[in-house]
Amino acid sequence: QRESDEANRRMTSLQNELEVVHAVIKDRETKVKELACQNDEIQQRTEEITEAKKALDKTCAVTSDALRYAQYELTNLKVDNAALTDDFEALQRTVDDVNVERERAMNELSSIQEKLEHNRLETKALEERCQEMKDENASTLERLMGSDQKVSEVHNQLEDLWAEKNQALDEMENA
């Protein structure tokens, strides 16, 4: 009986441990899913920024072409120097603004890529931890299976003892 009680206590303890492990695994899997969603959002934002950068590059090229054209017109047409200078300065400011915006976009892209890499590393670490916990879970299940077998053996022994006792009582009554 003592062995059976001990086996039952051990099995209950192992089941409690298994429930804790399952809860931790579920929590980790939820976090991995959240990180995957964040990674998807970061990837989408990276693509948007890349498209914006391409558009800014095109704008910069167009602006640079316009600037060169203005310079050509200035030297070839010898028109109102003040008006052409104003146009040139406006175009230069546009180029500067585009370059500033491009630099900002590049900085943001770099920051997003760093975050993406950090999230990838964290996701990998969480996946490894989940695998460890799954392995621990499998080990715990194996131990539980062994405990179940011991409880069954003790139970069978108790049934055999009861049968022997009842047979002995029957023999005593018959005698």
| 125 domain residue, yes or no | yes
Whether 106 maps to a domain, the answer reads yes
pLDDT > 70 fraction of the chain, expressed in percent and rounded: 95
Which residues in the chain land under pLDDT 70?
A: 1, 74, 78-79, 81, 84, 175
Let me know if residue 111 belongs to a domain: yes
Rounded to whole angstroms, the Cα distance separating 175 from 169 reads: 10
87: domain range? 12-148
pLDDT on residue 84? 64
Q: Residue 104 domain-assigned? A: yes
SS3 content of the chain, % helix, strand, coil (to 5): 95, 0, 5
Q: Would you say 137 and 26 are in contact if contact means Cβ atoms under 8 Å apart?
A: no
Task: Determine the longest span between alpha carbons in the chain, in angstroms.
Answer: 140
Nearest to 154 by CA among 2, 10, 15, 13: 2
CATH number for the domain spanning 62: value is: 1.10.287.1490
Residue 74 lies in a domain: yes
Distance CA 98, CA 94 (A): 6
pTM over 0.75: no
Residue 171 placed within a domain: no
Which DSSP symbol is given to 175? Answer: -
Q: Write down the pLDDT at residue 148.
A: 75
Say which residue the tokens 């800014």 belong to.
56
Q: Find tokens 């693509």 and name the residue.
A: 47
Give pLDDT tens digits for 26-63. Answer: 999 999 999 999 989 989 999 998 999 999 889 888 88
pLDDT at 175: 67
For residue 175, being part of any structural domain is answered with no
Predicted pLDDT at 174: 82
Q: How many domains does the chain have?
A: 1
Q: What is the pLDDT of residue 81?
A: 67
Do 60 and 103 touch, CB atoms closer than 8 A? no
Could you tell me if residue 170 is inside a domain? no
CA R_g for the chain = 39
